Structure 1
Amino acid sequence: MPSFDIVSEVDKHQLTNAVDQVNRTVTNRFDFKGVDAEVEMNDFALMVRAEADIQVDQMVDMLRAALIKCDIDPLAMEVGEYEQSGKQVKVSITMKNGLDKELSKKIVKLIKDEKLKVQAAIQGDQVRVTGKKRDDLQQVIALLRGKELDQPLQFNNFRD
């Protein structure tokens, strides 16, 4: 019976590359000369810090562009609130990795509302979709690609 998994993953190696690109760009840009600004990475949590909020905004935009170049969907970024501490402005960014319960339930509901001949089951931080025909599974993939969800989705483990 054909099946596939719906997941939301961020490649940690590509994320590291994107953070390194931003830090290199910041050290080379003229408007950041003499400014203590950098992006720190701790697992899937990022901390962007600089001396002014405009600089932090620019760095977040640079990070977004670097993520796109590294084939990471910028929807996976969740930007927190700006914090002022001393002469530094910080913002924490978390990368969404894995599907949370609410989004998994929403995906299953979307699939069931379409009345396709497939079964969707939540398995941890992924959703497994099984059906009798490959065409039904491809309709599910097309349906989910057409919907605006607040997190990027990948479809893997496609099996016949």
Structure 2
Amino acid sequence: MPGGASPLDRSTLGGEGVARLMRMRPGSDAGIDGRAPCTPEHPEPTRYKEPQDMADSSFDIVSKVERQEVDNALNQAAKEISQRYDFKNVGASIAWSGEKILMQANSEERVKAILDVFETKLIKRGISLKALDAGEPQLSGKEYKIFASIEEGISQENAKKVAKVIRDEGPKGVKAQVQGDELRVSSKSRDDLQAVQALLKGQDFDFALQFVNYR
């Protein structure tokens, strides 16, 4: 061979390599298999891809309260009651009684005042008063008592109310599915999900709602 180059040994190329070399025309700009090489002027054509459906986005509607925050509010209320002059010598107290909260004093007016203090502390801890179910003052011996509980979870009846609002007033195509004591809202449009949240925030439900688990 000229220039001392060794002739190509077909045995070292293999059948596929030989076939490729045979398809390359000397003096042409074709690449392997006769295809023109990719250049800035002739980029490789974009391959067609089948369109894929967009996955739904979603969030959950829940009604939950952090027990620790309730406990913090109760302790702050108890501290204020112990220090205020208008609660001296009236048997005023607030404490847990099992799963309920017990407030007591020697007059109906004072036990209601204890409830007011507790509600103020709950609000400061970011807890909606819609989660607080407080009973009426009850006379027991010489004391008035108020029992209160913290409500969590969305009942089936309330879940239907929320779902109906979304169905009747929300954007079309938004789905609301009841899952136990929660609801899952889904849509292909994130804007529609935000519109649902704004819609529900404007409703006067008698129970607390939070939006969690964005996906």
Note the 1:1-160 alignment, pairs <5 A.
1-42=56-97, 44-116=99-171, 117-159=173-215
Which is bigger in relative contact order (C-alpha 8 A, separation at least 6)?
Answer: 1
Which structure 2 segments of 5+ residues have no match?
A: 1-55
Paired letter, 1:136: D
Please report how far the alpha carbon of residue 86 of structure 1 lies from its aligned counterpart in structure 2 after TM superposition.
0.7
Q: Match for 2:181: what amino acid?
A: D
- Per the TM alignment, residue 45 of structure 1 is displaced from its structure 2 partner at its CA by 2.1
Whose strand proportion is higher, 1 or 2? 1
Once residues 156 and 91 of structure 2 are traced to their aligned partners in structure 1, the CA distance between those partners, rounded to angstroms, is 39
Q: Cα deviation per residue 1:1-48 (whole Å; 9 max; x = unaligned)? A: 201000111111110000001100111011111232211224652111
- SS state of the match for residue 81, structure 1? coil
5+ long unaligned stretches in structure 1:
none
**8 Å CA contact 1:78, 1:93 repeated in 2:** yes
Q: Which residue type is aligned with residue 88 of structure 2?
A: K
C-alpha distance in 2 between matches for 1:141 and 1:115: 9
Counterpart for residue 37 of structure 2: none
Determine the C-alpha separation between the residues in 2 that align with 1:43 and 1:111: 37
> Structure 2: which amino acid aligns with 1:85?
S
The structure whose Rg is larger is 2
- State whether residues 77 and 121 of structure 2, in contact with CA within 8 Å, keep that contact through their aligned partners in structure 1: yes
Q: In the comparison of the two structures, how many residue pairs are matched? A: 159
Q: Which amino acid aligns with 1:148?
A: D
> Equivalent residue of 1:9, what SS?
coil
Report how far residue 70 of structure 1 moved.
0.6
RMSD after superposition? 1.2
Q: TM-score, normalised by structure 1?
A: 0.94
Deviation at 1:115, TM superposition (A): 5.0
CA distance in 2, matches of 1:66, 1:43: 20
* Counterpart contact for 2:170–2:195, Cα < 8 Å: no
